[in-house]
Amino acid sequence: MSSAAITHRMAETSPRPRARLTGIVYLLYFLTAILAQLLVGRKLIALGNATNLISTGSYILLTLFFYRMFNPVNKILSLLAALFSLAGCVVMTLGFFYPPSISMSPLIFFGPYCLLIGYLVFRSTFLPRILGVLMVLAGLGWLAFLWPPVAIHLTVYIEALGIFAEASLMLWLIVKGVNVQRWNEQANAA
């Protein structure tokens, strides 16, 4: 086997390109979610809902990528996080098309999802722990939206913290990926 073929095979199996792809999917989610909000805000509801579906599809793909990334850290918590996210995506999608009939906020699911992802990042050896702390804080913030007395007074701060935390993780994944040696060590230990 030639050295070029070996390098290509290593790149295919290396967690760094997968982590960077995860970051790109995260960016796609951010961009389509923002575009959907702009379209709905301009009363282009059908186009906004279609864009929301693309956004939700991106988030489902992101969920699956995170599940695979954090499986070596803790298989059960990684699966639980994925289930929370997928449930949140279902509730969110139903809310796009049947808003009056859905009385449940998707934040009931996305808050715990961010908490679990934050914990998994913190426990991982292949990503900076500060990203885990930020994601835990974001999860707590999303859950705070469920309590109106807090949400009314802190909405701007909660949203800013959530966006900052998730954007930080997204940018880290795009720019740096994961520490391959540490990911492999954790995967082999699992």
The Cα 82–Cα 74 span in angstroms is 12
Cα Rg, the chain, nearest whole Å: 18
At 64, list the tokens.
């699956």
Measured over the CA atoms of residue 185, residue 64, residue 165 and residue 54, the dihedral's sign is positive
User: Other CB atoms closer than 10 Å to residue 176's CB: what's the count?
Assistant: 14
Q: Would you state the pLDDT for residue 11?
A: 42
For 135-173, the pLDDT digits (tens) are 999 999 999 888 888 778 888 888 899 999 999 999 999
Least confident of 4-13, 117-126, 163-172, 173-182: 4-13
User: Other CB atoms closer than 10 Å to residue 141's CB: what's the count?
Assistant: 24
Under 8 Å between Cβ of 130 and 158: no
Please give, one letter per residue, the 3-state secondary structure of the chain.
CCHHHHHHHHHHHCHHHHHHHHHHHHHHHHHHHHHHHHHHHCCCHHHHHHHHHHHHHHHHHHHHHHHHHHCCCCHHHHHHHHHHHHHHHHHHHHHHHCHHHCCCCCHHHHHHHHHHHHHHHHHCCCCCHHHHHHHHHHHHHHHHCCCHHHHHHHHHHHHHHHHHHHHHHHHHHHHCCCCHHHHHHHHHHC
For 83-98, the pLDDT digits (tens) are 999 999 999 999 887 8
